[in-house]
Each structure stands twice: as C-alpha cells, then as structure tokens.
Amino acid sequence: MKSYIFPGQGAQFVGMGKELYSQSSACRDLFEQANDIIGFRISDLMFDGTADDLRQTRVTQPAVFIHSVAMAKSLADAFRPDMVGGHSLGEFSALTAAGAMSFADGLRLVIARANAMQRCCEAHPSTMAAVLKLDDAVVEEVCASVSAMQGDKLMTVVAANYNSPGQVVISGTVEGVAEACAQLKARGGRVLPLAVGGAFHSPLMEPARLELSAAIEATPFNKPLCPCYQNVDAMPTDDPDRIKRNLVQQLTSPVRWTATVQNMAADGADEFIELGPGTVLQGLVKKILPGANAH
C-alpha cells in the first residue's frame, strides 16, 4: 500500500518548484493561481529568491505547501494514495492533495496559519531545540520538571515533535528551552538549537490557535479520497468534522510523527513516497522503520 507523506517548514530551498513550473502546464496554472491569491509572485521568490527570502514565515509555509501540492498534481492519475500524512505544515498539503479541501482554500488556511504564528512569535519570544540520543520519556520528564520550576510561564517547555526514536524537538520560552537543554545534556543527550522564530506546537501558540480556528471552521471540508493520518493523534480519519477538530488543535499539540509512521505501517503501508521539497521525511521513516521503502 502506498503512503504519500508531505514535509513541513524547514524543507524549503532556493529553486524549489522551478522544474515543475517549466515542465507541467497543470503545475504552472497552480503556481499562477497561488500568486494571485497571495498578492505577490511567490513563485519568483521560490525559483530565484534568496535563502533569507524563503526563511520569512509568510513565504516559507505557502512555498512548501505550493511545492508539495504541485508535486501531487504533476503525478495526475498516477497519484493514487492508500493513505496520506504530513509533518506539521505538511498536514495541510496532505489534506489538500487528498481532496479534503480545494487548493485555494488550503492555501488561504496556510497563509492564515503563517500570519497567526508570526504574530504570536513577535509577541512572545520563544524557541525550539532538537534533542538526540535520549528516550522520549526522559525528554518529557525533564520538560515537566523545568516547567514546574516557576509558577509563571517563564520556564515553559514541552516536547513538540516526536520525529523518530531518539529524536525529539522541544519547544518553549527561551529560558525554559535553555534550562531543559542544560539538563538534557547532563542526562547524556545531544541538543541542537533550531533557527526558528517561535515555540511551535506548544501552549505558547494558543493565540495563534484561536485565530486559526476561526478560519478552519469557516472553510468547507470534503471527505478525502483516502484516510489522512493527523499529527494530533497519529490516527487515520476521513471524517471532515474530525479532520477540522484535529487541525484546530494542531498548533498547540505535539507532532506525533513516529507514531504516525508506525500506525501507517501497521495498517499496511509498505511504500512511503515523499512529495515536497527536501528529503527529511524519507530519512525519518527509515529511522522509524529500518529497511523501509521510502523515496
């Protein structure tokens, strides 16, 4: 069974989508539709901009979404997924490619998401860090102890992305993440600060969640052509109401990617096809399922 998986923010690169635009009229139409919706030629920034251009949240998230959905579009009738899933932002790409919402509606939600997250980041300085070589339970224990150090939110830190065994991303206030990193190093872990503007998938994203929830509730959703495995619970669903409820919770809930891939495999997935820029998810799948057919 084929599982199509879609990457999130951080997968972008200069030149992304240029080949799709030049070789496929259907993809070209998709890019031009996106330019009209966004109000500036994001395709020019994707094809010929700079790395700094693509790091802007208002550009990054729509760019990755457009590239991913265009790749699915380029497959035409060959795109026949038995299941789909996406990492963080990639969940919107997966749902759109599977027909749960139109490209225009999906892009508008991604734009709303990016803008809401940017405002949240500017209001509350925060950050993230990758933690390697430790069990999930150890990371969770340290985050809980740090968060309990003070009564206010100064030391907030949580496990935000369960990417693969031995790789968890933590998210929270600058102070909370710094203290957690120090403790995790002392427990034998390796920590890598991430160049992000905020504490994604943490309680600090609550203002963005509230803002985005209104946009999600106002967007029409359809039954997708196959089950979609969502970040919040790592479980499959094709129910539009459940999809919307899970999307509303996504910004303040962890990305359960390890469990998602494991559940896909348990449900019969024997081929994982990444659609979008980069190769990050292929690597994670192979760490979760050694020997997996991921490409």
Q: Is the sign of the CA dihedral 207, 211, 214, 220 positive or negative?
A: negative
> For residues 147 and 206, what is the distance between their CA atoms, to the nearest angstrom?
17
- Helix or strand holding residue 244 (H, E): helix 240-250
pLDDT of residue 151: 61
> For residues 174 and 127, what is the distance between their CA atoms, to the nearest angstrom?
6
| pTM of the complete model | 0.95
Domain boundaries 125-197, CATH class: alpha beta
CA-closest candidate to residue 194, choices 119, 280, 277, 78: 280
pLDDT of residue 216: 96
Going by pLDDT thresholds of 50, 70 and 90, the confidence category of residue 272 is: very high
Cβ atoms of 226 and 83 within 8 Å: the answer is yes
Summarised one tens digit per residue, pLDDT across range 9-66 is 889 999 999 999 999 999 999 999 999 999 999 999 999 999 988 888 789 999 999 9
Identified catalytic residue from 43, 88, 171, 253: 88
According to CATH, the topology of domain 2-121+204-288 is Malonyl-Coenzyme A Acyl Carrier Protein; domain 2 (3.40.366)
CA-closest candidate to residue 93, choices 67, 55, 124: 67
Summarised one tens digit per residue, pLDDT across range 139-166 is 999 999 999 876 656 789 999 999 999 9
Distance of CA 256 to the CA centre of its chain: 11
Active-site residue 68, yes or no?
no
pLDDT of residue 262: 98
Identified catalytic residue from 68, 201, 202, 253: 201
| Mean pLDDT of all residues belonging to the chain | 94
pLDDT of residue 152: 59
Domain spans of the chain, in order of start: 2-121+204-288, 125-197
